[in-house]
Structure 1
Amino acid sequence: MGIQDIIEGKKQWRAHVARVKTLPPDYQIVYKEMQKYLFKVGPVDLPEGPLLPEIVDFFEEGVAAGKGVLELIGDDVAAFCDGLIKDSPTYAEIYQQSISGKPRS
């Protein structure tokens, strides 16, 4: 990864954060909790992948439709996040496989 890639990545991240800041406060709170949870659980492709921008897209559509954030995702933020990443490899799974000696599938 070169310096230009790092600079471009930072620009994209700042643009993403700016989009989040345009959401209503309740959406921002839920997004930040989702982000924290997802960074903890660790889908391997989270930093470069499309998941976080897609969540913002989804939230922007919800705002445009006049829906509350919990109408979109339900009361259990973690369960909603788990549903989003159910088919994605996570760092926890990779670690479990490494200590159990099982190859990744």
Structure 2
Amino acid sequence: MGIRGIIEGKRQWRAHVARVRALPPDYRIVYEEIEKYLFRVGPIDPRDGQPLSGVLDFFEESAATGKGVLEVIGHDVAKFCDELAGSRTAEH
């Protein structure tokens, strides 16, 4: 990856982080926990952002409906993460 690719990747990541910060507090807390989990144990490459961008899109849409985050993902956040990581593994 050249310098332009690095700069573009940083720009995209900063835009992603700005979207996360704009989430309602309950969504932001859960998103950040999912992010930590996936970076630690999940099959994720921070450069491609998947599945994090999909989770963020889902959270933005769900927050817009006025539902709480646990209403849309369930009360077992770890199970949600495991299923997300499992679906990511199945893609590769």
**TM-score, normalisation: structure 1:** 0.78
Give the letter aligned to residue 69 of structure 1: V
Deviations 1:59-84 (A, max 9, x none): 01111111000001111111101111
Q: 1:60 to 1:44 in 2, by over 3 A?
A: closer
RMSD: 1.9
Give the AA of the match of 2:73: I
- Number of residue pairs the alignment of both structures matches: 91
Residue 71 of structure 2 corresponds to residue 71 of structure 1: yes
Q: How big is each residue's C-alpha offset from its partner over 1:36-93, in whole Å with a ceiling of 9 and x where there is no partner?
A: 001111314454143111111000111111100000111111110111121433xxxx
In percent, how many aligned pairs have the same letter? Answer: 63
Q: Structure 2 unaligned segments of length 5 or more: list them.
A: none
> 2-side partners of 1:42 and 1:71: how far apart?
23
Equivalent positions of 1:9-88 (< 5 A) are: 9-88=9-88
Secondary structure of the 2:15 match is helix
Residue pair 2:9, 2:47 contacting (<8 A) in 1 also: no
Greater Rg by CA:
1
**TM-score normalised by structure 2 residue count:** 0.88
Cα separation, 1, equivalents of 2:6 and 2:51: 19
Equivalent-residue separation in structure 1 for 2:82 and 2:47 (angstroms): 17
